[in-house]
A and B are shown apart, each in its own frame.
Chain A
Amino acid sequence: MQDVDLQPQNTFNSEIQTAMFIGALLFAVVAAFVIFFIFRYRQKQVEHTREKEQLQQQMESEMLRSQIEISEQVVQRISQELHDNIAQTLTIAKFYLSNGDATTQQTRMQSSKELVARAIHELRDLSQSLNGNYVLELGLEEAVKRELALFPFAEKSLEILLPENLNDQQQIILFRCLQESLNNILKHANAKKTEVKLKQEGEKILLSISDDGIGFSNHTSTNGLGLTSMKQRVQLLRGTFEMKQEAGTTIRITLPVEP
């Protein structure tokens, strides 16, 4: 009789032991999962760090390449300006000084003086326009106004409202993009009207240059050195560059404004 009474209790106890064993196993599985997760996470962190370093190196190489290209373009522009304008002016001055007789000498001297003065003025302008400090010393707003005034468009409009926290690099790059765009309009667009906007929009500074010209035809490429240089400079500062061609051309450049 006692054995019969003990059997259900023994069965129950073994069931409890089995249940406790399963419970302990479950806890062990959970603990093993957490330990596995820690190791796996560390592996992922190492991979992630490695990828980040590779991307950082790639970006630095790209930036260096862009900076070298920009420097090359600046040198080319200096060369072109010297050849097209200043060298021509001085050549004519030399011709005047080398030729002529006594009766026309005074007139030629006067003309030569004017030509040399013009060459000096053009050299000074070129030097100023290539010197970034010129923009910083004058202030971006004043530099933009003076630059726009140099271009002989029939109609010009300027809307300018600058935030106070533009850094030096941003000011110089915005000015260079404006210079390049205005030069392109003058050389290629045959435009009568030009509109420039430079103002803050939300957390970005917007530079927009629009004209009513002929746009980029088959003869001129939208991937010219000037545009490429602008895009690279803007991308260096994590900005955006857009170009639209509808009833003329509009270039929109945005740069993030630091808080």
Chain B
Amino acid sequence: MFADVLIYLLALTASTGGGWYLWRRVSMASQILIVLLSLTLLSEFLTHISGMPAAPRMVMYIIYTPLSFSMYVWIYHLLLRGNFNQRLTTFFFLVVLIAGIGAPLFVTSFVQFPSLGISICSLVVVVCSLLLFAQMLQSPEDVALTQQPVFWLNTALLIYWTVFFFRHALYDVMVTDSPEQTTLLDDIHLWLSVFYYATLGYSIKLDAGRRSPAAKHLQ
């Protein structure tokens, strides 16, 4: 089990480290993503490696949730164009803050995993990713789709948070009534996370490549 977690942490570390190495050559959206990956790495390190007790770990997740999702919404605010999309992402920014802070404050508690907040916020990310897919179809670029960093970023976010939303809903039921059956869900989550962070790292690499002086010369 620990070996599996290590693989996942390695993927996350590689994407984060690569992102900082390419910091100056990437767009602002990618820079926000790199900061987000760094926060994720820190929280995962504290969770899995440092042996933090359960209660402060939950508080850390409660702080991390609105922070990370507001950064996701910020990324989409930079990528989505048009007055309607800009206003919508501003609204979503408030939604994730309210969900992330309000849910533990008024519905659950500060020593419980913030499932409700994460579920609402993951829906927001899914909606934003669908809007971005629609925008990409309206204004196709001349570059091949697989060479566009936005495609990989958006695909990773859509798949991860859709599956995560469902997995979380199921987990909450299983962990109470049948905890031995959660192993499969943990494995799915682990490999999905490896795919997720590796894809995010790839999108950062592509973004740096497009904005390099050589690429600009070719354009």
- Give a binary string over A12-39; 1 marks a CB under 8 Å from any B CB, 0 the rest: 1000100110110011001101100110
Check if A34 sits within 8 Å of B170, measured CB to CB. Answer: no
Q: Are A41 and B167 in contact (CB under 8 A)?
A: no
Given A19-B170, A42-B145, A44-B137, the answer on whether A26 and B178 have CB atoms closer than 8 Å is: no
Complex contact B163–A41 (CB within 8 A): no
A26 and B163 form a contact (CB under 8 A): yes
- 0/1 string, A118-146, CB within 8 A of B gives 1: 00000000000000000000000000000
B181 CB–A CB distance under 8 Å: yes
- Given A12-B177, A16-B178, A16-B181, are A26 and B137 also a contact pair (CB < 8 Å)? no
Residues of B within 8 A of A23 (CB): 163, 166-167, 170
A48 within 8 A of B: yes
- B137 contacts A49, C-beta separation under 8 Å: no
Alpha-carbon distance A227/B137, docked complex (angstroms): 42
Q: Give A41 to B159 CA distance when docked, in angstroms.
A: 18
With both beta carbons as reference points, the residue of chain A lying nearest to B133 in the complex is identified as: A37
A219 at the interface (CB under 8 A from B): no
Is residue B153 within 8 Å, beta carbon to beta carbon, of the partner chain?
Answer: no
- Shortest CB-to-CB span from A106 to chain B, Å, is 74
Chain B residues whose CB sits within 8 angstroms of the CB of A42 once the complex forms: 145
Chain A residue with minimal CB distance to B165? A26
A26 and B162 contact, Cβ closer than 8 Å, known pairs A16-B181, A37-B133: yes
User: Per-residue CB proximity of B144-185 to A under 8 Å, as 1/0?
Assistant: 010000000001001100110011001001100110010010
Of A12, A30, A37, the contact of B162 (CB 8 Å cutoff): A30
Does A107 have its Cβ within 8 Å of any Cβ on chain B? no
Cβ–Cβ contact A45 & B174, under 8 A: no
Q: Which of B137, B155, B177 contacts A40 (CB 8 A)?
A: B137
The residue in chain A whose Cβ has the minimal distance to the Cβ of B173 is A19
Q: Are A49 and B142 in contact (CB under 8 A)?
A: yes
User: Would B158 and A30 count as touching, CB distance under 8 A?
Assistant: yes
B136 is an interface residue with CB less than 8 A from chain A: yes
Number of A-B contacts (CB under 8 A): 48
A44 to B184 CA separation, bound complex (whole angstroms): 40
Which of the four size classes fits the interface of chain B? 20 to 34
For B130, the closest partner residue in chain A by CB is A33
Q: Is B140 an interface residue (CB 8 A)?
A: yes
Decide if A30 touches B159 in the complex (CB within 8 Å).
Answer: yes
| Complex-state Cα separation, A27 to B30, whole angstroms | 26
Nearest chain B CB to A90 CB, angstrom units: 58
B133 vs chain A, min Cβ distance (A): 6
Q: Are B159 and A34 in contact (CB under 8 A)?
A: yes
Task: State in angstroms the CA–CA spacing of A30 and B142 once bound together.
Answer: 25
User: Within 8 Å CB of A20, what residues of B?
Assistant: 170, 184
Smallest Cβ distance from A239 to chain B, in angstroms?
Answer: 24
> Which residue of B is nearest A47, CB measured?
B140
Question: Which residues on the B side are within 8 Å of A19 (C-beta)?
Answer: 170, 173
CB distance from A241 to the nearest CB of B (A): 30
Measured between beta carbons, the chain A residues less than 8 angstroms from B166 are: 22-23, 26
Given contacts A23-B163, A26-B162, A34-B155, contact A41 B174 (CB under 8 A): no
Please provide the chain A residues from 189 to 227 with a CB less than 8 Å away from any CB of chain B in the complex: none
Is there contact, CB below 8 Å, between A27 and B178?
no
Chain B residue, CB-CB nearest to A27: B163
Chain A residues closer than 8 Å to B162, beta-carbon distance: 26-27, 30
Query: Which residues of the partner chain A approach B145 to less than 8 Å between Cβ atoms?
Result: 38, 41-42, 45
Distance A34 CA – B163 CA, assembled complex (angstroms): 14
Bound Cα distance from A12 to B177, whole angstroms: 9
Residue pair A45, B140 in contact (C-beta under 8 Å):
yes
The residues of A that contact B184 with a CB separation of less than 8 Å are: 20
Once bound together, how far apart are the Cα atoms of A235 and B173, in whole Å? 68
B142 contacts which chain A residues (CB < 8 A)?
45, 48-49
The residues of B with any CB-CB pair to A shorter than 8 Å are 133, 136-137, 140-142, 145, 155, 158-159, 162-163, 166-167, 170, 173-174, 177-178, 181, 184
Give 8 CB contacts A-B under 8 Å.
A12-B177, A16-B174, A20-B184, A37-B137, A38-B145, A44-B140, A45-B141, A45-B145
Interface residues, chain A, CB within 8 Å of chain B? Answer: 12, 16, 19-20, 22-23, 26-27, 30-31, 33-34, 37-38, 40-42, 44-45, 48-49
For the complex of A and B, 5 pairs with smallest distance between CB atoms = A44-B140, A45-B140, A48-B140, A30-B162, A23-B166
Given A23-B170, A40-B137, 14 more pairs with CB closer than 8 A: A22-B166, A23-B167, A26-B162, A26-B163, A30-B158, A30-B162, A30-B163, A37-B136, A37-B137, A38-B145, A41-B136, A41-B145, A45-B141, A48-B142
